[in-house]
Structure 1
């Protein structure tokens, strides 16, 4: 039994070690060999996250108020809920994982910007994908879905280009963001089932 346990521990350690090596190798390919002319653009993409994720539900809710449309207001609330869930999960995981930024561990990583929080998962990516996913679910049209996910994907890439996140930080951030939107969607569907039949529903 002890031999089996030792073997399991060895393979687990070996897998984690290889995953970490692959993580930093991919990041080096993206960051160290990057086109520095793209730095201002990537910083702009990264800096777009806060105004977009805050502004999206506010603008949609304002439209709902102006048009006196309760469904539009509910969609805005759903997007805000997705962001709230994403923020809660992301910050909780960060405080548990406490992973250092890649440039703190590997001096060869050229960080274009400084970050004060932990690395895993990427909050920018999480918020971007929560916004893109919830917006696409609220308005399932190709001209909403395509640019939303193109922007969210570029946000994730920008975090690696700028040297502030590992690929796994970005991948898990995307999963957390999208997952938060799906979770809130399921919750809204369950709540709507409890409503009276004559009431307007967000998810038909």
Structure 2
């Protein structure tokens, strides 16, 4: 049986281990960002700014265009797929905004002056909103239309946006990683939720 004293000892050891791991992870995080941002090819800044600026417009336009095609063709399945992709974008945005406000991580250039931001952002850093939205869209598209010619360019675009956030010095690598997980997870969970609701509707 675990006594109260043993319990507190175990908790203390776990906290110490987690602190050590966090410290190592933080060092890895900023060192990787320094390699990407400080040693970047500055002639590519404009290209990466263009890529990063496609995140929200494409994420919004994709379900709108697919729904429009569904309306024109009077195809209810296409309209359902469009609604699913739109739901995924909204779910990922909601989770991202909530986590930013909970975690309240400063942008890397605030904590580390050597990081050169291409633009100063107004919100918190963790997770990356651009990355979560593009990975939500890419994953939802891949689930809705599981063809290689949809999957490959979708994830190539999403990865380019994620990388652009580090190149431009506005996000840590872990911000981008967590953003990608939130986006992909939102798409998967929304898909599962829709399947469950449809099954209940037909029972």
TM-score surpassing 0.5? yes
Distance 1:155 1:118 in 2: 18
2:187 to 181, 186, 190: 181
| 1:104-139 CA-partner distances (Å, limit 9, x unpaired) | 000000001110000000000000000000011111
| 1:120-178 CA-partner distances (Å, limit 9, x unpaired) | 00000000000000011111110000000000000000000000000000000000000
1:60 and 2:66 correspond = yes
1:42 and 2:56 correspond = no
Q: 1:194 is paired with a residue of what secondary structure?
A: helix
Residue in 2 that maps onto 1:200: none
Residues 48-127 of structure 1 aligned to structure 2 (within 5 Å): 48-127=54-133
Residue in 1 that maps onto 2:23: 17
1:170 and 2:176 correspond = yes
Residue in 2 that maps onto 1:136: 142
TM-score w.r.t. length of structure 1: 0.94
Distance 1:79 1:34 in 2: 34
C-alpha change, 1:10 and 1:195, in structure 2 (3 Å) is closer
TM-score w.r.t. length of structure 2: 0.94
Distance 1:70 1:7 in 2: 56
Distance 2:56 2:14 in 1: 43
Gaps of 5+ in 2: 1-5
Structure 1 residue 3 displacement after superposition: 4.5
Gaps of 5+ in 1: 198-204
